[in-house]
Amino acid sequence: MPGSKKRIGILTGGGDCPGLNAGIRAIAKTAILNYNMEVIGIKDGFLGLIENRFLSISYEDVSGILALGGTFLGASNKANPFRHLDYKDRFKDVSNRAIENYRAMKLDGLICIGGDGTLNIAYKLYKKGVNLIGVPKTIDNDLRQTEATIGFDSALITATQAIDKLHTTAQSHHRVMIIEVMGRYAGWLALYSGLAGGGDIILLPEIPYDIKKVCEVVLKRNQRGKRFSILVVSEGSRPKDGDMVVRKMIKDSTDPIRLGGIGSKIADDIEKITGLETRVTVLGHLQRGGEPSPFDRILATRFGTESCELASNGDFGKVVVLKSNQIKAVDLKKAVGDIKRVSLKDPVIKSAMAVGTSFGI
């Protein structure tokens, strides 16, 4: 109808992270204040789209949530319309049902805030006719096309502060301390927190380590009077000619593999080879919690306002990204598929090596 308001939907998919509420706030306020749009929030990511669960978002609903962690809409890292587990414990393609619910909500477009799994699903839905725009978030910082994702900086601060705290107890008890951080198959979080926290050894998924080299570094430090060492280990790290450590499998998840336990394996190896007392700290979901950093609040706001502008112009099938401090829009197709990984040629690797950091090679 001429003059009728446009309706824009928002969902947050995948794992939670600081900055999601800031992104929702930016989209909703921009849509309401600048484009006179109605805003609909989809509950619990794609699960809400499958089950037709949603709510209307007003200006007041998003006031005061900028600094809140998590997402008030809820999220799910299991819901996948193309591979949904039904009550008979069978996987079914229910994407048509999700699209029917999208249309029943009378949405003119849907903004999906998520990582590689969410954006891959979003791209499939876009190809089936849903007007979609992607907003990148993940503490792993592993999405192609963008220099930063919502949540990475906040998780980086949490990990760095944890490393700082471990330094004092490591010095006091003359121990080798291992801190295992998230990141899945990309080592950005371990690399950046390890460098920022003064880690002596940083182990990444992209650079298989030699345990003998790791132990050599620890023993040499001990011989020089440095009676402690800090190892920052990405959960996806693996030894040369070895595999990643899988904690368990979650069959109904978009990524069924749950990594975890590499820190304990390395600790056991170090103690056996060197005889030095070694302790492990696994940060786990602490990295996903807490309030977003100022950088993440600003990034989420910039992403949110730009995605809303794209929606108002009917420019769908895009994802907003950060390039050279500018917010750009690139084709969603270019942003999905293979993830962004750390390269040995990365300048941060070069700087870390220059100050004596070992990567176990």
State the Cα torsion 310-312-314-318 to the nearest 10°. Answer: 20
Instruction: Provide φ and ψ at 350, rounded to 5°.
Output: -60, -45
Q: Which two tokens stand for residue 267?
A: 């600790």
Strands of the sheet containing 229-234, edge to edge, are: 201-203, 229-234, 176-181, 278-282
> Given 16, 140, 142, 153, which residue is catalytic?
140
Q: Where are the beta strands (DSSP E) in 260-299?
A: 278-282
Q: Residue 111: exposed, middle, or buried by beta-carbon count in 10 A (0-12, 13-18, 19+)?
A: buried
Q: List own/partner pairs for 125-130 with CB under 8 A and 24 or more apart.
A: 125/81, 125/95, 125/98, 125/99, 126/316, 126/317, 126/332, 128/95, 128/99, 129/99, 130/99, 130/102
Spell out a b/e string for 296-306, using b for 16 or more CB atoms within 10 Å of the CB, else e. Answer: bbebbbbbbbb
Integer Cα distance of 248 and 219 in angstroms = 33
- The span from the CA of 24 to the CA of 71, in Å, is 8
Active-site residue, 140 included: yes
Query: How many Å apart are CA 79 and CA 87, to the nearest integer?
Result: 14
Cα 240–chain centre separation: 26
Under 8 Å between Cβ of 103 and 77: no
Beta bridge partners of 110: 9, 132
- Where in the sequence numbering do the catalytic residues fall? 140
